[in-house]
C-alpha cells in the first residue's frame, strides 16, 4: 500500500520569503502522480501543482515549484515570495493512476506572517 508522510505539522514564513514543505512517499509502483493540494479556511481543496513520475523535469506553477527526487521518493513544495493568501493547510498526495483514489499525507499548516 502507498503511504505519504509529511513530517512538518506546522510552519510559518514571513511575507515575501521562501518556504519549503517536505513530503516523502512509499510505493513499489513506477508510474504514478504526485500532487500538492491547498486547503484554506474556506475548506475548498485546491490543486496547487502536480507531477507525473515519468517526467524528470520538476513542475512549476508561478510561485510554486517542486523538487521531485524519484529515487529518494521525495516530493517537496517550494513557495517563493510568500503571500498572506498562501496561509492554509497543504496536503501532499499520491495517485497510482488516473482513476484510483488519492492517498494523502497528514498535512502541513502554513502561516504567512505580515
| Contacts to other proteins from residues 49-68, by CB under 8 A | 50, 52
Q: Total number of residues binding other proteins (CB under 8 A)?
A: 24
Shortest reach from residue 14's CB to other proteins, in Å: 26
**Residue selected from 79, 82, 91, 108 as contacting other proteins according to rule CB under 8 A:** 91
**Residue selected from 30, 42, 57, 62 as contacting other proteins according to rule CB under 8 A:** 42
Over the range 19-31, which residues count as b (16 or more CB within 10 Å of their CB) and which as e? bebbbbbebeeee
Cβ–Cβ < 8 Å for 13, 112:
yes
Stretch that binds other proteins, among 18-26, 30-38, 67-75, 77-85 (CB under 8 A): 30-38
Name the DSSP class of 15.
T
Amino acid at each position: 500500500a502507498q503511504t505519504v508522510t509529511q513530517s512538518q505539522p506546522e510552519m510559518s514564513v514571513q511575507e515575501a520569503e521562501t518556504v519549503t514543505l517536505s513530503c516523502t512517499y512509499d510505493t513499489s509502483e513506477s508510474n504514478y502522480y504526485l500532487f500538492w493540494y491547498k486547503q484554506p479556511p474556506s475548506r475548498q481543496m485546491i490543486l496547487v501543482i502536480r507531477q507525473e513520475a515519468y517526467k524528470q523535469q520538476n513542475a512549476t506553477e508561478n510561485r510554486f515549484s517542486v523538487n521531485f527526487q524519484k529515487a529518494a521518493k521525495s516530493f517537496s513544495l517550494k513557495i517563493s515570495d510568500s503571500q498572506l493568501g498562501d496561509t492554509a493547510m497543504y496536503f501532499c498526495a499520491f495517485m497510482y493512476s488516473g482513476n484510483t483514489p488519492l492517498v494523502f499525507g497528514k498535512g502541513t499548516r502554513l502561516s504567512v506572517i505580515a
